[in-house]
Amino acid sequence: MTALEQLEKHLSASGFRRVLVITDENVNSFYPYYFDCLKAAFDVESVVVPSGEASKSIETAARLWRGLAENCHDKNTFIVNFGGGIVSDLGGFVASTYKRGLHYANMPTTLMAMIDASVGGKTAVNIDGLKNAVGTFHFPDIVFKPDMKFLDTLPKRELESGFGELVKYAMIGSPGLFAELSGMSGFCAKAIKQEWISFCIELKNDIVKKDPYDNGMRHVLNFGHTIGHAIESLSAEIEEPVSHGLAVAQGMFYESYLSYKKAGLPEESWKKTASFLSSHFGIRKITEENFGKMTRFLLNDKKNEGGAVNFTLLREIGEPVTDCSLRLEELAELLTKTDFQI
């Protein structure tokens, strides 16, 4: 059964008559008529937001809320988020808040969304440069099975971003997958295996089932994200934007070093990780000046308690350990005073 057939079956069985597709300019340019086959049986509308992180905002959400209200959408409207992680985060947030919650589905079109962003029920927008500062838990009715053909339209930068998140799943859950990825000379759409995507989805779903509201075990999914989000936010602030996955790759490099110094990651594993990440993702040195600018973002991380910065680190590849806290002063010393030779 195709994704569209699955969607049609769900809409009919659940009694929905109206469908609102939220997508972005990039996806719409490739697939402007993708949902036309549903129009004979359902009232289908589309709204297209600008591509890029700037759309993941309260302002864009408010524009979508107003559009829903102006067109008299109610609880019988079903939202389909058709795009990458930004669209699924934004669309899920809009669905969770309009009229206290509409039903929705995610149809991911990027590697990042397929393996991570569309799964797990987290929705969010950014405010004042802070990643995912306002959000909800609102679980989709359906996350459609990834259609690999969508990956053929992705630019190199977007593929690399998805690979960054794929490496995270390998590092927290599969030494074998990490070894396989480490043996690759480069990243391209044809190299992506369906089994890799399935592994990531299954691992995340298993974790989310045990901790749906991010109170403990789900923190393992944040490996690389504490420093990664700070790098991503700072890069946007200084108008030198880095994609989410590339920022996470940088975060995993530095958090692997913290794992070596603070969580018992063997030196051999640290060196192997550092070599792979630096050769494939181009790690940038964190200077004292940049660390000072990053502190606002580090201290606003949602996992923090008691003024310390909270991390998920690794005892070994495939063995994450959550709730490892470091004071800013110690973190600055470790990140800015070490000669990483990158």
CA separation for the pair 9, 212 (Å, rounded): 27
CA separation for the pair 67, 72 (Å, rounded): 9
195 and 143 part of one domain:
no
First to last CA, the chain: 48
Would you say 236 and 244 are in contact if contact means Cβ atoms under 8 Å apart? no
204 and 92 part of one domain:
no
- One pLDDT digit (tens) per residue for the chain, 342 residues: 899 999 999 999 999 999 999 999 999 999 999 999 999 999 999 999 999 999 999 999 999 999 999 999 999 999 999 999 999 999 999 999 999 999 999 999 999 999 999 999 999 999 999 999 999 999 999 999 999 999 999 999 999 999 999 999 999 999 999 999 999 988 889 999 999 999 999 999 999 999 999 999 999 999 999 999 999 999 999 888 999 999 999 999 999 999 999 999 999 999 999 999 999 998 999 999 999 999 999 998 888 877 799 999 999 999 999 999 999 999 999 999 998 986
170 and 311 part of one domain:
yes
Tell me the CB-side half-sphere exposure of residue 284, using CA atoms within 13 A. Answer: 17
- Where does a domain end: 152, 177, 200? 152
- Where does a domain end: 127, 152, 177? 152
182 and 302 part of one domain:
yes
Task: Please tell me the total count of domains within the chain.
Answer: 2
159 and 275 part of one domain:
yes
42 and 160 part of one domain:
no
80 and 176 part of one domain:
no
- Give tens-digit pLDDT for 179-218: 999 999 888 899 999 999 999 999 999 999 999 999 999 9
341 within some domain: no
pTM reported for the whole predicted model? 0.95
- Give tens-digit pLDDT for 284-311: 999 999 999 999 999 988 888 777 999 9
166 and 101 part of one domain:
no
Give the range of the structural domain holding residue 305, as residue numbers without chain letter. Answer: 155-336
The CATH number that applies at residue 46 is 3.40.50.1970
Cα Rg of the chain (Å, integer):
20
Q: What is the DSSP letter of 148?
A: G
